[in-house]
């Protein structure tokens, strides 16, 4: 019969990607509706060769019946309207940070923990973009060797801050005197070790997301995560340097083979031929790319790797659509 689907925040960068990915993956949709705030309600969006008028997001419309509502409209919007939609019996897949660490709310990466979706109806949280790509790469190694500690440094694209940040980087590349507005300092030709607000312990909110979300998704709160998140002058795709210490001694060749066989992972690891992932080649793709896989020089229980993924797609929109697909698959 097809699904009744709504996209909340449809005019934003992630919302538009959700529409594209629903089309690309040929999700069986009977009715698609788009919602946004007063600022963009009434705009026209194209989907499958047709124009859809963006509707105003209201409490009343969230009480209507949908098979799925995909949210990418910010935390305050999600806190109010996702709760209303779920109370009305709808399944909500939310891209904000609002619900991720709430007890009883599944935090899902379909390649990693799809079992938490079984027979669940309500709000489902989409993890942080930088967390998603890291756990996709680490999950098969966690199953084999058990993870003790992760040290990760991220190199995150400006698209993670929205369209205004993309424009700001473009302006600064063309005009050295362009004044920063989105970021506290110039981003072109620069790196900012500052994503989200700083906490009293010296870590940013983004860094702590990677700590606690990783533990929740991998279902092990003993995993130690030390994260440094950095904004870099790249338009699309996040990169990560990940060093992992395991409980059991890993075999490098076996680990590489586990990653080759892992769902959603593409291994590009041939340094002799300069083959490794980059943000440019990952942009527009849905896989998580892994390269520079190597053993630690001093600790036989430790491996290092380089992980790259498109933050708007697998880091947000694609993961949300894959959650929808996994729920439908589990119904069969």
Q: Which one of 43, 163, 191, 238 is the catalytic residue?
A: 238
| 57 CB-near residues (< 8 Å, 6+ apart) | 8, 35, 36, 37, 41, 73, 77, 81
Question: Which tokens belong to 29?
Answer: 């949709």
Q: Name which of 243, 234, 244, 227 is nearest 153 in CA terms.
A: 227
The whole-angstrom distance between residue 188's C-alpha and the CA centroid of its chain comes to 24
In tens, the pLDDT along 302-332 reads 999 999 999 999 999 999 999 999 999 999 8
**Above pLDDT 70, what percent of the chain?**
100
| 238 CB-near residues (< 8 Å, 6+ apart) | 129, 130, 133, 154, 155, 156, 157, 160, 279, 308, 309, 311, 315
Q: What CA–CA distance (Å, rounded) separates 97 from 184? A: 22
CA 318 vs CA 15, 164, 264: distances in Å = 11, 22, 11
In tens, the pLDDT along 97-111 reads 999 999 999 999 999
Q: Give the chain's mean pLDDT.
A: 97
Question: Which tokens belong to 67?
Answer: 């098979």
Q: Which one of 43, 115, 129, 247 is the catalytic residue?
A: 129
pLDDT above 90 (res 69): yes
Element (H, E) at 6: strand 3-8
Q: What CA–CA distance (Å, rounded) separates 311 from 324? A: 19
In tens, the pLDDT along 109-145 reads 999 999 999 999 999 999 999 999 999 999 999 999 9
Specify the pLDDT at position 74.
Answer: 87
**Residue 278: how many CB atoms within 10 A of its CB?**
15
Specify the pLDDT at position 112.
Answer: 98
Q: What CA–CA distance (Å, rounded) separates 332 from 219? A: 26
CA 85 vs CA 92, 171, 225: distances in Å = 7, 40, 34
Instruction: List, in order of start, the domains of the chain with CATH numbers.
Output: 3-126+316-331 (3.40.50.720), 130-311 (3.30.360.10)
Element (H, E) at 77: helix 75-87
The phi and psi torsions of 44 (rounded to 5 degrees) equal -105, 135
Cβ atoms 87, 332 nearer than 8 A? no
Whether 129 sits among the annotated catalytic residues: the reply is: yes
Mean pLDDT of 55-77: 96
Q: What CA–CA distance (Å, rounded) separates 172 from 308? A: 25
| 251 CB-near residues (< 8 Å, 6+ apart) | none
Q: What is the dihedral of CA 64, 67, 72, 76, to 10 degrees?
A: 40
């Amino acid at each position: 019969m097809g699904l009744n689907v709504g996209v909340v925040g449809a005019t934003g960068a992630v919302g538009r990607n959700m529409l594209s990915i629903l089309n690309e993956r040929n999700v069986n949709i009977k009715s698609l509706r788009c919602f946004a705030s007063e600022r963009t309600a009434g705009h026209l969006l194209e989907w499958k060769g047709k124009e859809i008028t963006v509707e105003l997001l209201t409490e009343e419309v969230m009480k209507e019946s949908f098979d799925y509502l995909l949210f990418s409209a910010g935390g305050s919007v999600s806190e109010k309207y996702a709760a209303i939609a779920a109370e009305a019996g709808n399944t909500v897949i939310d891209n904000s940070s609002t619900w991720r660490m709430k007890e009883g709310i599944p935090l899902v990466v379909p390649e990693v923990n799809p079992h938490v979706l079984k027979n669940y109806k309500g709000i489902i949280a989409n993890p942080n973009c930088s967390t998603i790509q890291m756990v996709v790469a680490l999950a098969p190694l966690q199953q084999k060797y058990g993870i003790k500690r992760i040290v990760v440094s991220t190199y995150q694209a400006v698209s993670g801050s929205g369209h205004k940040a993309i424009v700001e980087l473009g302006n600064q590349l063309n005009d050295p005197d362009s004044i920063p507005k989105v970021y506290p300092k110039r981003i072109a030709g620069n790196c900012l070790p500052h994503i989200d607000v700083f906490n009293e312990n010296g870590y940013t909110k983004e860094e702590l997301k990677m700590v606690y979300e990783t533990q929740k998704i991998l279902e092990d709160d003993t995993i130690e995560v030390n994260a440094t998140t950095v904004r870099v002058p790249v338009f699309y795709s996040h990169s990560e340097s990940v060093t992992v210490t395991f409980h059991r001694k890993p075999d490098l060749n076996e680990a590489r083979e586990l990653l080759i066989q892992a769902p959603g992972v593409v291994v590009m690891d041939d340094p002799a031929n300069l083959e490794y992932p980059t943000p440019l080649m990952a942009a527009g793709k849905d896989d998580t790319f892994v390269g520079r896989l190597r053993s630690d020089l001093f600790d036989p229980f430790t491996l290092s790797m380089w992980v790259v993924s498109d933050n708007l797609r697998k880091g947000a929109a694609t993961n949300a659509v894959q959650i929808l697909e996994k729920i439908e698959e589990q119904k069969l």
